[in-house]
Chain A
Amino acid sequence: MRERNWLAAAALAAITILPVGDAGAFDESKYPNWKGQWVRTDAGAPRYDPSKPSGRGQQAPLKPEFQAFLEASLAEQKTGGQGGDPTYTCLSPGMPRIMNNYEGAELVVTPDTTHIFMEHIHDSRRIYTDGRPWPAFIEPTFAGYSIGQWIDEGGTGRYSVLEIETRGLKGPRSYDNTGLPLHPDNQSVFKERIYQDKADPNILVVEITTIDNALTRPWTAIKTYRRAQNPRPVWRESVCAENNAHVEIAGQGYMLSADGFLMPAKKDQAPPDLRYFAPTQN
């Protein structure tokens, strides 16, 4: 009888000490260890589907109208223009381009929110995992509004997969720097599954499915990031406006020379219209 009392007391004490729920403690052992700095594993220009070349090579299931847009973008870029790539003036890449992971990612897991910090132009995300429903109104953003759910896929008592749905986008956005376009109606929906490789916990897998009105069908790509070995990595600070040599005037892209003057971005490009300057000043 005494034994039972002791064991009962011990069990009660353990329950009392053990954190319960996020009100008491954040039990990190229930979540996957995603700490550290994650860099993309693919080489070449960051792109949506890293298993294929960029541009036409992505074989995006675009509707004819948007395939034509891509072709025009590529043609424009050949002449020195920026085509359909909206980020050259430091606009946010938004989703899904954020997840191309240009300059390293940090995933900060808390019970209520997983923060994805991407060092690039303006790429950080919040994934709400607090069980909230979709709000009645979403203020459109480039990153979108993301709701996630943790899944214990192996039934091990530990979450292994973060499933995310993202809506409420604004634009213009493209999948990558070729100008591969998303529909300007900004009705895109993204469904993601993020998890660690079972064989190598230093590989993070990001499966993204894009549902977008510029596509003939949902388009899925699988990305992988590798964890940097340095447990105290150096985080660069990418400030797009710093040394950005691109200027857009009246819808035309120009360059700034090293000595600060405007210069053409394309062969034989006309100079900008200076109609708002008094003629005597020119």
Chain B
Amino acid sequence: MQNRSAIRAAMGVLAIMAVLCTAPSGAFAFDPASYPNLKGQWFGVRGTAGGGQPSFDPVKRWGTTQDAPLTPEYDAMFKANLADQRAGGQGTNATSTCLAPGMPMVMNAHSPMEIILLPETTYIRVDHIRDTRRRIYTDGRDWPAEIEPTFDGYSIGKWIDSDGDGRFDLLEVETRGFKGPRSYDASGLPLHRDNKSVFKERIYLDKANPNLLHDDITVIDNGLTRPWTVSKTYRRNPDPRPAWVEYICAEGQQLVRIGNENYMLSGDGFLMPTRKGQAPPDLKYFSRK
């Protein structure tokens, strides 16, 4: 009898332990062994084509060589933007005045990226212009009836155990609910001004090298003739305690937008033209001239 009691007690302990350790809500313990190890500092891997700043499709040079499947209207807008940039303007690159890059430009990882993985939310921090922290909700929520538009969008994710080994290895993400203007990269490659973009991402570690992270991003946008998919790769910094930069766009910002024109601030702080022959700003609101 005593034996049976002891066995029952022991089984009870085991059962409680098992429940404690498998609590799906994360109320008791979050077992990182069930998730991929995404800790550390990630740098965007650029393609060999090189040139310019980080581009949306990292294996292609930024600009027209991205071969974005733009609608004729947006292709014309993009080309006009490039012409404006050649003349010293900023075209449709909205981040020139420190506006948030938003999606998908955030994932170009101009600055190093950190991924913080908790059961309910995966956070993606990229300190570029804004202290961006994408929140990818993995708590099983539905799309809200109304989404307050943001540059980063509203992201819902789902962890997948793609190979059935009992461990999640893939984060599928869908992001909606945008505001703009946004561009794919600093070349000004534009997204549709209706801000109806939808992004579908698959984020996973490289099977052969766990220090490489992949993000396959598909863009569905009315500025495109078809969905556009690119594969981004990030490399993990081997330093377990890396330095994190603080990117304050307004610090040392020399571009000033007045009306529809961009101007520069000179080294001594005065306004100066960005283009040959550019007119100065209209000072009609000043009584003293």
Contact = CB atoms under 8 A, between A and B. Distances in A.
Asked if A and B are interacting partners, one says yes
Interface of A: 2-3, 6-7, 9-11, 13-14, 17-19, 22, 24-29, 89-92, 108, 110, 112-113, 115, 117, 122-124, 126, 128, 130, 132, 139, 141-143, 232, 234-237, 239-242, 247, 249-251, 256-257, 259-264, 268-277, 281-282
Contacts of A249: 256, 265, 269-271
Interface in B270-284: 270-273, 277-284
Nearest to A264: B286
B87 interface: no
A6 B6 contact: yes
A223 to B, nearest CB: 20
B259 A260 contact: yes
Contacts of B100: 237, 239, 241-242
Contacts of B27: 28
Contact of A24 (B33, B250, B289): B33
Given A9-B10, A17-B18, A139-B243, A26 B29 contact: yes
Given A262-B286, A281-B280, 5 more contacts: A26-B29, A117-B123, A237-B148, A249-B256, A262-B282
Q: Which 7 A-B pairs have the closest CB atoms?
A: A10-B10, A260-B259, A276-B272, A263-B285, A241-B98, A237-B150, A90-B250
A89 B3 contact: no
A18 B17 contact: yes
Secondary structure at chain A's binding surface: helix, strand, loop or mixed? loop
B249 A261 contact: no
Interface string B176-215: 0000000000000000000000000000000000000000
A110 B3 CA distance: 43
B97 interface: yes
22 contacts: A6-B3, A7-B9, A14-B14, A19-B21, A22-B32, A110-B118, A115-B123, A117-B131, A122-B131, A124-B127, A142-B246, A143-B246, A236-B150, A239-B99, A247-B256, A249-B256, A249-B271, A262-B281, A271-B286, A272-B270, A274-B271, A277-B271
A24 B31 CA distance: 7
A67 B35 CA distance: 54
Contacts of B31: 19, 24-26
A28 B26 contact: yes
A234 B149 CA distance: 11
A263 B285 CA distance: 5
B95 to A, nearest CB: 9
A236 B279 CA distance: 38
A240 B280 CA distance: 26
